[in-house]
């Protein structure tokens, strides 16, 4: 790609372990993920990572990536998608608010939860200060 620094991490194909590590870190840190899904760049907030006999899937709250989302409000449950990590060419964590919405879709049949973000469904959480013992008790 002309004009991009060759060390730029986006657009570099990744192995499944690297994509999984990016998504796990983004769930832990409540970060957005920029990824290439099919031929489209997508930005999403990962919430749950599950595995089944077919592979690893992430419950993603899509911020961009589908034309139909342009009409949807930020807290619309229509923004939820299960994305297979195998279908992502690459993934990279990026700064930005971690978002969520009510009514996520059910887990795929026979799946096992590997990792889940701890947040109230329907509420975005942005921590601007270190978590204190008093705040953790809430």
Q: Which tens digit of pLDDT belongs to each residue from 49-97?
A: 999 888 999 999 999 877 777 777 777 888 899 999 999 989 999 988 9
The CB density around residue 97, as the number of other CB atoms within 10 Å, is 13
Q: Is 54 contained in some domain?
A: yes
Q: Is 1 contained in some domain?
A: no
Residue recorded with tokens 């998608």: 81
3-state secondary structure of 68: helix
Q: Is 23 contained in some domain?
A: yes
The residue ranking higher by pLDDT, 67 or 124, is: 67
- At residue 77, the pLDDT reads 80
The residue ranking higher by pLDDT, 132 or 27, is: 27
Number of domains in the chain: 1
For 28, the enclosing helix (H) or strand (E) is helix 16-29
Give the closest residue to 93 by CA, choosing from 14, 5, 1. Answer: 14
Residue recorded with tokens 């879709």: 105
The residue ranking higher by pLDDT, 123 or 55, is: 55
Q: Is 89 contained in some domain?
A: yes
Q: Is 81 contained in some domain?
A: yes
Per the structure, the complete domain to which residue 20 belongs is given by 16-97+111-118
Please, what sign has the CA dihedral across residues 93, 34, 47, 131? positive
């Amino acid at each position: 790609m002309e004009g991009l620094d060759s060390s730029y991490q986006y657009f570099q194909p990744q192995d499944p372990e690297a994509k999984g590590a990016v998504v796990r870190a983004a769930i832990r840190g409540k970060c957005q993920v920029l990824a290439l899904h099919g031929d489209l760049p997508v930005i999403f907030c990962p919430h749950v990572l599950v595995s089944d006999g077919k592979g690893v899937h992430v419950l993603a709250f899509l911020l961009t990536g589908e034309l139909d989302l342009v009409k949807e409000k930020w807290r619309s449950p229509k923004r939820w998608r299960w994305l297979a990590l195998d279908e992502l060419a690459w993934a990279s964590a990026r700064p930005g608010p971690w978002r969520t919405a009510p009514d996520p879709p059910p887990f795929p049949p026979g799946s096992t939860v590997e990792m889940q973000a701890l947040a109230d469904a329907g509420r975005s959480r942005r921590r601007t200060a270190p978590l204190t013992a008093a705040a953790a008790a809430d």
